[in-house]
Structure 1
Amino acid sequence: MVLGDGGADGTGCGLTGRDAAMDGALEALYGKDSGSNGAEGGRRSAGLGASAPSVARWLGDIRTYFPSSVVQVMQRDAIDRLGLNSLLLEPEMLEAVEADVHLVGTLLSLNKVMPETTKETARAVVRKVVAELEKRLATRTRATLTGALDRSARIHRPRHRDIDWDRTIRANLKNYLPEYRTVVPERLIGYGRAARSVKKEVVLCIDQSGSMAASVVYASVFGAVLASMRAIDTRLVVFDTSVVDLTDQMDDPVDVLFGTQLGGGTDINRALAYCQSRITRPAETVVVLISDLYEGGIRNEMLKRVAAMKAAGVQFVTLLALSDEGAPAYDREHAAALAALGAPAFACTPDLFPDVMAAALEKRPLPIPDMAEQR
């Protein structure tokens, strides 16, 4: 791009071969003649044109010339700059695309207008991304939350048959008496068998407005992971101005994702009212609201519901985003109001999410990242 233009742009050095091809791929997207509709014009042949085959060829070119991370950035820019949403509905283009979370979000936003001939290809793209995310996130999530559930289930006045001798001895090593070659167990740690039979309940309440696309994808994957854990009853609710309970589809996050409808308004109060009505054991429940907090409903009622749930013993977590995109845009007034209720709102990366959930399950302070560091 520095050299730019096949005419050397005053550098005295023209581009040939692979360099010229790379420059052409960049010019098609970022050149001054590439308009919002991809039209060509002027003295150069810029833009991607209006047909899916030309876009597919361009996608193939950039995958040849650039690393995957750069390809994903260029794809997002092409969708935004050149108005390629309609072309994403073509099967041949979908087969050429470098699939990532952002492409999944775009496909989901087009789900209702997607022709039947494209839907199976789109589902294959989404399933590929979901499988990669599950591979990356599932093992650590299960391990982290299993440890948290075990710790929260332990009791410190166990009956003799319920004593966890290994943990008890390690907890009392400071009380070792060398003359007697023994440990005095001042503190007994039990397995807490009765407590283990009491499941924790997790409610994922997900804002499906268009700005939350990446968060919806990650939350659906985590919902499937949580649902696979026998010690946790998981409910997954998505909302805009209406509320949809997708709990019965959680065994397949792809079904969950295609059950969402990205876009539309936001009524957090209505969504929380639904979630609140489904809580049967507040002291054993964690509610995770994933939203940028741009409320279109009744603000004061929303805050009253959060306060009521917390007063009943619910652990309430607000995530402004669940993604790797850095600091999100969000309603700062609503975030401050939630913080005043003892429910701080913060952005969370997928890698941090298991630690946040573990802390919530154990009812200890949440590992809140510094928002300034996410910028």
Structure 2
Amino acid sequence: MARRRPARLAHIAGIGVDAVGRVADASSADLLRLENLDVDIPVDPVALARTREAVDRDEDNSYLPFIGQTRLRSVAADHVSALSGVRYDGDRNCLICAGGLSGVLNVLLATVDTGDEVVVTDPTYAGLINRVHLAGGVPRFVPFIFTPGGAWRLDRQALREAVGPESRAMLLTSPSMPSGGWLDADDWALVAELCVAKDLLLIVDAAMERLVFDGRPVLHAAGLPGMAERTITVGSASKELRMIGWRVGWIVAPEPLMEDLIAVNLANVVVPVGIAQDAAALALERSVETLPAYVSELQRRRDVLLEELDGMPVGVPAGGWSLLMRVTDFGHTGATASARLMEHGIAATAMAGWGVDHGDQYIRFVFSNEPVERLRGMGAIVHRALGAA
């Protein structure tokens, strides 16, 4: 039969991770697995025990409540309240979703109309860009400024110029994935200024907002003047709590937006995994105590990678799980560099489709899933693989 591809898929790009992962999984070699956002640092044991207990509990094997278990909604609302300074209530301002990305899609479907522009940074995770397209939106890219050996910086003038008459929202992550670019207080002040002046929504993908390095503060824009009424925060247990397989996220939003958000949430997935929700609530409550050692270990891994890649064109991540290298400096595209690195024992993902200014010129190295001992010596392998001087 003749197949007509739906128009909504016209701009959907592959993310590349799955393809590299399949090759790596099929290999018998002991590869450095730097291609996928996985983590080898164990989950909070208290959350693990609660998950095992939930398997045998009838009340955790239920569709109800459709908007998520009451305790998790309360804990998530309190968490965002503490970071932002805005008072949120679990009953009035929070619903639970099947992971952060599901939450982002639901927010976009509930707030963005066909043809509306959504401001994102460049680079940005291709999965977020795809969700803007699926919701009928049009991504407007604002580049980070790349300086080899330096931190990524938001191009503030480009942000001002990106906001136009068709703009509806900004979808921002800090630290950003994949670059680790971090928005400082002046960046967020500009975001707030533009959102208030142009009546835009701010959708914060908060998956990594506390995974920041070098003593940087955790900043949340909802508490800035005029922003409480227009900021939607999407959080997740995957990165900060290392609970990827639990598939739990939360949406915290102003009360007037909740009716539409709930309507979309109920039409898409209905409810996340019941046996995972209270474990996520426990891990989120306890993360005030458990997070510092985890962030310290991530920073240690980043620092080793920076030592190994010293003198090569990498952007220094201010947080998160990954860093980028510009491989066009060695005559490669991201795709050819990925293939060469695989031949030399490193699985890494090309960035085609992850940005315009910062797309296929880059390769990504994830440092959350390999210990320091295995990262040491990686620099020599990269030099051999890419023919670096």
* TM-score (structure 1 length as normaliser): 0.32
Rg bigger for which structure? 1
* TM-score (structure 2 length as normaliser): 0.31
Q: Which has the higher helix share?
A: 1
Higher relative contact order (CA 8 A, sep 6+): 2
